C-alpha cells in the first residue's frame, strides 16, 4: 500500500475515531511525522493523544538511529566500540573515558552520584593515565607486529613495554 500523500510505501496506518465514522490514513514515515506533529487547530496539542504518542514513538526511532551510529564509534587506542561496552559493561582502556566521555558522564553520575573520584588511591598506584594509554597502545602494536610476523619489531616493542613497567616499580 502506498502513502496517501506521496508515492512511498505506507508504513503507518492510522485510524482516527474523532467523528461519526472512523477515518483511516495510510502514510509513510515522513508524512506520518508531519501529520502527527500538527494539531487540527494548527497549534501544539494541548493534551496527549494517540497521535502524540505515535509522534513520540517516531522520536524514539530517531534516538535508535543515533544509538546505532554511536555504537559504531571506536576507541583509537584499544579499538573497543561503544556497542561492545554496552554489551560487556567494561571499557577497554583509560582513554575510553575521553573517547566516550559525553555518553559516559550521565551514566557515571547516575551510578555514583558524581563523575569525579573522591576516594583513596592504592599506595602502589603510580602509573599515570598517559603511561597506561601508552602501554595499551604498545601491546596492540606488538600484537600487530606478531601477526605480520615482524618479530624484530615485536621484540623492540616488548623491550619498550618492559622499560616502562620497570620505571613504575
pLDDT by residue (tens digit) across 43-101? 444 444 555 555 565 566 667 777 778 888 888 888 888 888 888 888 888 888 888 88
Which pLDDT value is given to residue 153?
Answer: 94
Rounded to 5, what percent of the chain is helix, strand, coil? 55, 10, 40
Which pLDDT value is given to residue 151?
Answer: 94
Which pLDDT value is given to residue 43?
Answer: 44
Domain ranges of the chain: 1-44, 50-112, 127-166
Q: Distance (Å, rounded) from C-alpha 157 to C-alpha 65?
A: 40
Amino acid at each position: 500500500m502506498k502513502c496517501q500523500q506521496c508515492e512511498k510505501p505506507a508504513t503507518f496506518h492510522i485510524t482516527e475515531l474523532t467523528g461519526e465514522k472512523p477515518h483511516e490514513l495510510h502514510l509513510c514515515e515522513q508524512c506520518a511525522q508531519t501529520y502527527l506533529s500538527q494539531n487540527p487547530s494548527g497549534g501544539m496539542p494541548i493534551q496527549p493523544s494517540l497521535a502524540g504518542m505515535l509522534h513520540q514513538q517516531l522520536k524514539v526511532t530517531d534516538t535508535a538511529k543515533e544509538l546505532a551510529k554511536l555504537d559504531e564509534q571506536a576507541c583509537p587506542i584499544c579499538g573497543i566500540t561503544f556497542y561492545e561496552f554496552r554489551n560487556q559493561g567494561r571499557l577497554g582502556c583509560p582513554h575510553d573515558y575521553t573517547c566516550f566521555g559525553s555518553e559516559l558522564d550521565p551514566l557515571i553520575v547516575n551510578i555514583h552520584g558524581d563523575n569525579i573520584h573522591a576516594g583513596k588511591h592504592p599506595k602502589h598506584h603510580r602509573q599515570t593515565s598517559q603511561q597506561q594509554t601508552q602501554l595499551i597502545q604498545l601491546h596492540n602494536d606488538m600484537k600487530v607486529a606478531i601477526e605480520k610476523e615482524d618479530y624484530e619489531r615485536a621484540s623492540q616493542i616488548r623491550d619498550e613495554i618492559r622499560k616502562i613497567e620497570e620505571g613504575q616499580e
